Amino acid sequence: MLALASAVPAKAEQLAKDLFGAKKLPAATPPASYGFYSKGCLAGGIAIAADGPHWQAMRLSRNRRWGHPDLIRLIERLSREAVQDGWPGLLIGDISQPRGGPMVTGHASHQIGLDADIWFTPMPPERLSVAERERVSAVSLLKEGTLYVDDRKWTPAHAALLRRAASYPEVQRIFVHPGIKKKLCDTVTGNRSWLGKIRPYWGHHYHFHIRIACPKGSTGCTPQAAPPRGDGCDDSLAWWFTEEPWKPAEGPQKPPARDVMTMAALPKACQAVLAAPAPPSEAVVTLTGQGGVAAASAAPALVETADPASLLLSLQPADVPRPTPRPY
Ligand SMILES: [Zn+2]
């Protein structure tokens, strides 16, 4: 008993998900992703505003609109450019907590600010209320009770949106349900090279999940191997349409990693991320819209500065682009 107690100091027993889940604001430091997508944390994160010209963020109460600035800018860019594909705007699901880390509910990954969930439901023309954003549920693209896409719900705009997202070099993977991958494999003509980034996975028929590669300069970020070459419309996809992936697991179930992870399991840097000061307000670290070019030009200050004070200076509200009507 005693030996056990001294081997496990009380502090180490605190769950990382509780420590990270309690943070309301990011670490006001230069941006950096530490660790792996499913075991790490995020410094210098910024938020995407609840509303932008071409997006609405959902489930605001979760406070998961935070990510590495590279990812947040990429979502803004996708929201804007997808309009050309007939996609009126994004409904944005979970990204990361302000300082990343494991979450109290949901998601094994999304821990280092490089993962984002986007709903397969197009943004409605009206602004949803805060309550609606909690309540409204996304629509599955599958035919009920099957592994296949419902052709009454699938549109060319869904394919175009996924192609657009996959076209960005930073995007390394996009997770979708195997049925959606199959639909793309069966229907996409012309250049199919982008299909290799579209990775079949459980879930992901209400939303797709964009994962970007470790950003330049994030030396503490553990990269994931690039997806295999080819379009992935092969045996690896066929496997998903066998019984094996859907069999209930046998034997006693281990709790999800996020439910037992302590700070000891995370990179050392995550201690400093937790302890770092917060910015003076959420507003100074929120991307509010129409940012593509303007926000990107503000990026060097964000990425290269080593001094939190100058970081904050670079994020004064006047520098953060404001939504303006666009001529679409
Ligand atoms: Zn996700």
Angle between helices 69-81 and 156-167 (to 10 degrees): 140
How many C-beta neighbours within 10 Å does residue 48 have?
26
Amino acid at 95: I
Q: Which helix (H) or strand (E) holds 56?
A: strand 55-57
Q: Rounded to an integer, what distance in angstroms lies between the CA atom of residue 314 and that of residue 311?
A: 5
Whether pTM exceeds 0.95: no
Of how many residues is the chain composed?
328
CA of 293 to the centre of ligand 1 (A): 27
Q: What SS3 class is residue 239? A: helix
Triad 55, 280, 68: Cα angle to 5°: 45
CA of 116 to the centre of ligand 1 (A): 6
Q: What CATH fold (topology level) applies to the domain 13-241+269-315?
A: Muramoyl-pentapeptide Carboxypeptidase; domain 2 (3.30.1380)
Tokens of 37: 């997508």
Predicted local confidence at residue 293, as pLDDT: 28
CA of 322 to the centre of ligand 1 (A): 28
Predicted local confidence at residue 290, as pLDDT: 60
CB 104 within 8 A of CB 31: no
Burial class (CB in 10 A: 0-12, 13-18, 19+), 250: exposed
CA of 209 to the centre of ligand 1 (A): 5
CA of 117 to the centre of ligand 1 (A): 5
Predicted local confidence at residue 328, as pLDDT: 25
Would strands 115-119 and 207-212 be described as parallel, antiparallel, or unpaired?
antiparallel
CA of 9 to the centre of ligand 1 (A): 33
pLDDT averaged over consecutive 10-residue blocks of the chain (328 residues)? Answer: 46 84 97 97 98 97 97 98 96 98 91 98 97 96 97 97 98 98 98 97 97 95 95 96 92 87 96 97 90 35 36 38 33
CA of 110 to the centre of ligand 1 (A): 7
Place of tokens 């964009």: 210
Q: What is the DSSP letter of 221?
A: B
Q: How far apart are the first and last CA of the chain?
A: 69
CA of 307 to the centre of ligand 1 (A): 32
CA of 2 to the centre of ligand 1 (A): 42
Q: Rounded to an integer, what distance in angstroms lies between the CA atom of residue 234 and that of residue 195?
A: 11
Domain boundaries, the chain: 13-241+269-315
CA of 115 to the centre of ligand 1 (A): 6
